Amino acid sequence: MTDVMSIVGARPQFVKAAVVSRALRRIGIRETLIHTGQHYDAGMSAVFFEEMGIPEPDVNLGVGSGSHAYQTGEIMVRLEEQLMSRPNPDCVLVFGDTNSTLAAAVTARKLHIPVAHVEAGLRSFNQRMPEELNRIVTDRLSDWLFCPTETACENLQNEGITNGIHLTGDVMLDATLHFADRARKPAQDFPDRSYVVATVHRAENTDDPKRLGGIMTALGALQVPVLFPAHPRTMERLKGFALPDNIFLVQPLSYLEMLYVVKRALRVITDSGGLQKEALWLGTPCITLRDETEWIETLEGGWNVLAGADPDRITAAMRRDPGSPIPSIGRVDGNSASDRIASILLSN
């Protein structure tokens, strides 16, 4: 194929698209890039396009925020208009597990356009997470399933999916490797290994005052400064909180700034999926504010510890040093994941 339409909408998808877009264009595939507008603040969207050199989207659907049904439905309606107003692409390429991913996969397949899914096969086995539902449906509908890990391939096989599975490696690893030496120091900075980087954005943590309270108590009890770049929703929920003095709440950091602070931190404490892996790739142990992870390989040797939102578990995890070596995750020998994806698409 030579004509691909990529759909992005939320922060982690910009990171993935940055490397995949480059690989597609380098190999001679024509790419139409559609931004759903799910994330729209400059710090959540534009800064990624600028600093990672992502091509300007051909169209921005401007969907913005809303309930899951509103956001998903509105993306479907607006994307369908786009798809029907132009010749069909050879495939629609979707990334990860957001509402933009689900909406695009359903819309494309209803128009009989093949779908390729980057980051297929991830499972938390927790269907209370909207992302888990988005993954299951998207994988069911996808013709090409690009898996970052062996575990992801096995998850698909266990669900009876046998066709179109490709172990490609992780495109987020490509991004970390490509951009690592361009890491940029943010305005708020601390000496190396003297601080923690924390992020919290999942609804299960931000929208439950008991969980958010537990996390903030644990962070406040740490003996080190905590750099806390907050997602807009988290910022909103923290408005009523009396923040402990060691917590430095800042606006979301850019990708290059995150690379800088994560590489130098003592620990990363997060409920993000991507950050769990980025921490390890950059040599920093991680504590995950959830009870399960899709990236089970990260748990080996205690490099990533599941702590829920429980202050005691978080404090205990801070005290434990991981063994060596750092677990390998998302690496497949040979080409980068994004080059592998581009050549599979080109040859189909």
# of chain residues touching ligand UD1 (CB under 6 A): 18
Interacting stretch for ligand UD1, rule CB under 6 A, among 37-45, 259-267, 282-290, 325-333? 37-45
Tokens 């790739």 sit on residue: 281
Residue 30: CB minimum distance to ligand UD1, A: 27
Q: Which of 22, 39, 78, 263 binds ligand UD1 (CB under 6 A)?
A: 39
CB 164 within 8 A of CB 145: yes
Q: Which of 31, 97, 132, 339 binds ligand UD1 (CB under 6 A)?
A: 97
Interacting stretch for ligand UD1, rule CB under 6 A, among 33-41, 110-118, 326-334, 338-346? 33-41
Q: Which element (helix H / strand E) includes 63? A: none
Number of C-beta neighbours around residue 199 at 10 A: 22
Considering only residues 47-66, where is the footprint of ligand UD1 by CB under 6 A?
Answer: 65
Q: Is residue 124 a contact point for ligand UD1 (CB under 6 A)?
A: no
Interacting stretch for ligand UD1, rule CB under 6 A, among 150-158, 173-181, 209-217, 229-237? 229-237
CA torsion 137→118→325→300, rounded to 10°?
Answer: 0
Considering only residues 164-203, where is the footprint of ligand UD1 by CB under 6 A?
Answer: 201
Q: Is 231 a catalytic residue?
A: no
CB 170 within 8 A of CB 339: no
CB 14 within 8 A of CB 37: no
CA pseudo-torsion sign 29, 33, 34, 38: positive
CA angle at 203 for the pair 201 and 205, rounded to the nearest 5°: 75
Decide: helix, strand or coil at residue 267: strand
What would the x/- binding string for ligand UD1 be over residues 302 to 341, using CB under 6 A?
A: ----------------------------------------
Catalytic residue, candidates 35, 68, 201, 231 = 201
Q: Is residue 233 a contact point for ligand UD1 (CB under 6 A)?
A: yes
271 vs 308: CA distance, rounded Å: 9
**Residue 208 Cα distances to 203, 214, 322, angstroms:** 8, 10, 30
Residue 10: CB minimum distance to ligand UD1, A: 4
Single out the residue of 139, 131, 108, 134 nearest to residue 34, CA to CA. Answer: 108
Interacting stretch for ligand UD1, rule CB under 6 A, among 81-89, 94-102, 212-220, 320-328? 94-102
Chain residues binding ligand UD1 by CB under 6 A are 10-12, 38-41, 44, 65, 97-99, 130-131, 201, 231-233
- Residues labelled catalytic: 201
